Amino acid sequence: MRGRPLRVVALTPSGDENCGVPEDADLLAEADALGALVNGHPENVAGTLTRLVEMLDESRDPIVIASVIQALGHAWNEEACLSVLRFARHPDEQVRLEVARSAPGGLETDAAAEAVAHVLIELAKDPVDEVRDWATFGLGSILDIDSTQIRDALADRLDDTHVDTSCEALVGLARVRMRERLNGHWSFFNPSRYHGLQSTPHTLLAILDCCQPYGI
């Protein structure tokens, strides 16, 4: 299972005259506290969700925005997920990364899943490796919907120069047994990229086809 790395930050002025260091430090601490409160505790979501969504507009500091988005992801709640989508094109890569991580969790309706899928498809093209990796993971292993657009996005990542991203695309397509989309896309499979993994593409696909939907 993927985990979120511990964040160590040094606060600096954001450049906004209404958003000084002390205020942002308080917001950062509050976001972390609320994230911990809802993480694994759905009974606490109702009492914290409104405040977390409000906090998205209370700072321009990308460190704070990313922390709030991370906390909303911990809520594993559809409203929380949808509230972060507007930050998918934020200029800060950490903010975009947190959107990719947080958006696919806790969705309950097809409409919400389709909205998230649209955003993840765009983030799967991000110039930052880790953003593409998490967006591809969300499309292929978290979202419980299928579409031609999602399959196309996953197929596009099979040849990704970032190994983890290409593996997530492979897992995602294997989940829907898209052999016809995988055939001819094995040029990316160079065993040296996988630290000595000894397997053929067809053997690997057969293994994946027999696995549970959310992992190898």
DSSP, res 140: I
pLDDT of residue 70: 98
Neighbouring residues of 26: CB distance < 8 A, sequence distance ≥ 6: none
pLDDT of residue 174: 80
pLDDT of residue 183: 52
Model confidence, pTM: 0.77
pLDDT of residue 43: 97
- The rounded average pLDDT for each run of 10 residues, N- to C-terminus, in the chain (216 residues) is 43 44 80 97 97 97 97 97 98 98 96 98 98 96 91 92 89 70 47 42 47 41
Q: What values do phi and psi take at 18, rounded to 5?
A: -95, 10
The DSSP string of 5-61 is PPP-------S-TTS-HHHHHHHHHHHHHHHHHHTT-GGGHHHHHHHHHHHTTS---
Is the distance from CB of 88 to CB of 57 less than 8 angstroms? no
pLDDT of residue 98: 98
